[in-house]
Structures are given as structure tokens and as C-alpha cells.
């Protein structure tokens, strides 16, 4: 079975690792093992220590490199667990080639499987956004056509204006028909890809890394 870092703990650590640099209080606390562990668990390279050094220099603090690397190695070993690798790939995160050689192959295999899910889900999300945009335009067209109908029956409308509005209505109807076909095709594509995604999830659920 996959061994996965608890989601809440990982989310908290990743949120911290997203900061550009350490705060003054973090620098002064000098808890370099925890900082290293946090960076390792987030998949950051050990060169992250250089950024911390730059951040802490203005507070008169120098990192403890040995202690930091001890924590970083512990974090990296958890990050490189194949179960976590799958999660890293599934959420679309980049891999910074931090895993030790003995874990690299299993990590990358699991990471690629997770990334397959991510890419397929991304395709579905993109299709759904396209559908939403086209459906929005269809709503606009219906409103425009309703407005034109009102203008055409207006007693003050001239024959020339009515003729022009009829041409506009024809153009809108053609656009509406085209969009309806496009939405239908996109919805079919979503259905196919969604089924493919579910089959992939089922297949991957049977595997262990």
C-alpha cells in the first residue's frame, strides 16, 4: 500500500515553503532541522538553504548547514516515497530531481502515473471552460434575438430597420446553430475523457508502488 504524508501536515508545510524567504522570527529561532525537513518534504532542492541564508543575514543569523541538511534528508525520504510521488504528479507539481538514486526510479514511475491523471483532468477542465464560454455566448444570442423581436414589432421601426434586423437575426441564428453543434461535440469529448479518467483511476487503484 502507498504510504502517504498526512494531507493536512503536507499542506501546511507546502504553504510555508511557498514563502519567498524566512521571516525574522524563523531566522532567530534557528530551528534549522525543521526548516530543512520542511524543504525536503516539499521537494525543494537543498540549495534552498542559500535563499534562507540571504534572508537571515540581515537579521545577523547564519544557517547551520549540517543541521539543515540532516532535516532536509529526512524530509526528502518522505517526499520520495512512491505514494507521495503519485500525489505530487496528480496535483501537477514539478519534480526537482531531488530523490536519492535508490528511490529515483520508483518515485518517477509513480509520479508519471499521477501526472497522467493530472493531464487528463486538465484536458477535461479545459473542455468544460470552453463549453461554459460558448454557453455564455448562446445566452447572449438569445437575449439579442429577443431584443430584436421587440424592436421589429415596434410601430416606430422603419421598413429599412426591420430589414436590417432580419439580417442580424439570420446571422445570430447561424452563429447559434454553430455554437450548439460545437457545445454538443465538446460535451461528447468530455464524456469520453471522463470515462477514460475513471478507468485510469480504477486501473491505478489496483496497483501499488
97: DSSP letter: S
Whether 75 and 125 map to the same domain: the answer is no
Overall domain count for the chain: 2
Would you state the pLDDT for residue 152?
A: 83
Region of 19 (left: φ > 0; alpha: ψ -120 to 50; beta: rest) is beta
Other beta carbons less than 10 A from residue 145's beta carbon: 16
Whether 57 and 131 map to the same domain: the answer is no
Would you state the pLDDT for residue 21?
A: 58
Measure the CA dihedral 166/168/172/174, to 10°: 70
Would you state the pLDDT for residue 47?
A: 92
Contact 89, 114 (CB under 8 A): yes
Q: Is position 86 within any domain?
A: no
What domain range is 173 assigned to? Answer: 117-205
Domain boundary among 54, 79, 104: 79
Contacts of 133 (CB under 8 A, 6+ apart): none
Other beta carbons less than 10 A from residue 182's beta carbon: 14
Per-residue pLDDT tens listing for the chain (209 residues): 334 444 444 444 444 444 435 888 888 888 899 999 999 999 999 999 999 999 898 889 999 999 999 999 999 999 999 889 999 999 999 999 999 999 999 999 999 999 999 999 999 999 999 999 999 999 999 999 999 988 888 778 888 988 999 999 999 999 999 999 999 999 999 999 999 999 988 887 766 54
Would you state the pLDDT for residue 118?
A: 95
Domain boundary among 79, 103, 134: 79
99: DSSP letter: S
Domain boundary among 58, 79, 100: 79
Amino acid at each position: 500500500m502507498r504510504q502517504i504524508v498526512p494531507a493536512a501536515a503536507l499542506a501546511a508545510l507546502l504553504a510555508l515553503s511557498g514563502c519567498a524567504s524566512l521571516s525574522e522570527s524563523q531566522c532567530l529561532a534557528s530551528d534549522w532541522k525543521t526548516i530543512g525537513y520542511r524543504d525536503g518534504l516539499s521537494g525543494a532542492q537543498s540549495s534552498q538553504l542559500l535563499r534562507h541564508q540571504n534572508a537571515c543575514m540581515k537579521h545577523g543569523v547564519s544557517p547551520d548547514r549540517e543541521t539543515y541538511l540532516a532535516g532536509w534528508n529526512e524530509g526528502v525520504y518522505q517526499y520520495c516515497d512512491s505514494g507521495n510521488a503519485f500525489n505530487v504528479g496528480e496535483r501537477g507539481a514539478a519534480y526537482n530531481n531531488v530523490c536519492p538514486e535508490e528511490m529515483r526510479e520508483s518515485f518517477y514511475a509513480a509520479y508519471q502515473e499521477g501526472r497522467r491523471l493530472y493531464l487528463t483532468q486538465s484536458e477535461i477542465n479545459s473542455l468544460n471552460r470552453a463549453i461554459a464560454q460558448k454557453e455564455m455566448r448562446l445566452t447572449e444570442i438569445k437575449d439579442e434575438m429577443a431584443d430584436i423581436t421587440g424592436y421589429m414589432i415596434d410601430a416606430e421601426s422603419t421598413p429599412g430597420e426591420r430589414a436590417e434586423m432580419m439580417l442580424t437575426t439570420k446571422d445570430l441564428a447561424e452563429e447559434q446553430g454553430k455554437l450548439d453543434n460545437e457545445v454538443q461535440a465538446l460535451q461528447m469529448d468530455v464524456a469520453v475523457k471522463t470515462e477514460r479518467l475513471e478507468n485510469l483511476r480504477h486501473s491505478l487503484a489496483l496497483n501499488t508502488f
